[in-house]
């Protein structure tokens, strides 16, 4: 996790305020044998970043919070590869009946569909399968490639993508999950799965990192 780098003087100011706050800017300057004007930019940075709070006529005090700047840095630093789950794939010729069983067995909400060379060809959601179950067809006769959402209409991501990008795609496309892929000669290899649960877990880890 990237933290805002403080310089030596800012670190000293932070220490003084931690020990002796609330303390005025004038008093801090005096302790450092500097002019009040000299440390004004440092105090501004420490306050804006969330390390210090300032109250009129009281002075500066230590906020006790991790700086808000580093929460943003933490979010930008979160990558798909650090939060992804194992993908569950089925062949495009399996029946809708078998796909439903697979979904229960593996306890997932989305199945990814691959062809015989293991390349991504489709996605099956819970409602795709429910919709077909409501129809009159025989579930053990219909292959999943007939009902799946298929390439090139699949939204996918890569390990090195940022989680924020993925969350944005989920919301914009109104989908619950994305396959994590690696490009190979024949097509896309499914190497992972990112769901709304992974995003929620990442959100929670951010809160825990910052003791929120
Ligand atoms: P549900 O249909 O159970 O609410 P989703 O919201 O994930 O689940 O899926 C909505 C529709 O979008 C379904 O028809 C599904 O096939 C399709 N879909 C799901 N994930 C993707 C994806 N990554 N790319 C393209 N389409 C998808």
CA 145 to chain centre: 31
The Å distance, Cα 175 to ligand 1 centre, comes to: 5
204 Cβ neighbours under 8 A, 6+ residues apart: none
Q: Give pLDDT, residue 1.
A: 35
Please state, in angstroms and rounded to a whole number, the distance separating the CA atoms of residues 204 and 79. 15
- pLDDT at position 127 is 98
Q: What is the pLDDT of residues 90-111, one digit of tens each?
A: 999 999 999 999 999 999 999 9
d(CA 177, CA 193): 7
Out of 126, 145, 148, 149, mutate this one to test ligand 1's pocket (max ligand atoms within 8 Å of CB): namely 149
Report pTM. Answer: 0.74
189 beta partners = 119, 182
Q: Per DSSP, which regions of the chain are E strands? A: 52-55, 59-62, 89-91, 110-114, 120-125, 149-150, 177-184, 187-195
Q: Is the CB of 118 under 6 A from ligand 1?
A: no
């Amino acid at each position: 996790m990237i933290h805002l780098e403080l310089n030596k003087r800012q670190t000293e100011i932070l220490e003084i305020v931690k020990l002796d706050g609330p303390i005025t800017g004038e008093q801090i300057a005096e302790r450092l044998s500097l002019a009040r004007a000299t440390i004004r930019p440092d105090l501004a940075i420490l306050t804006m970043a969330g390390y210090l709070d300032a109250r009129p006529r009281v002075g500066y005090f230590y906020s006790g919070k991790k700086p808000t700047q580093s929460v943003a840095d933490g979010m930008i630093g979160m990558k798909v590869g650090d939060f992804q789950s194992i993908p569950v794939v089925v062949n495009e010729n399996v029946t809708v009946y078998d796909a439903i069983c697979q979904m229960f067995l593996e306890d997932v909400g989305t199945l990814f569909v691959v062809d015989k060379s293991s390349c991504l060809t489709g996605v099956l959601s819970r409602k795709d399968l429910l919709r077909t179950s409501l129809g009159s067809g025989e579930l053990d006769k219909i292959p999943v490639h007939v009902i799946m959402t298929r390439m090139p209409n699949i939204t996918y991501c890569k390990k090195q993508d940022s989680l924020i990008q993925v969350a944005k795609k989920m919301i914009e496309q109104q989908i619950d999950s994305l396959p994590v892929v690696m490009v190979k000669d024949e097509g896309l290899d499914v190497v992972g799965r990112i769901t709304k649960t992974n995003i929620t877990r990442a959100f929670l880890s951010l809160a825990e990192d910052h003791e929120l």
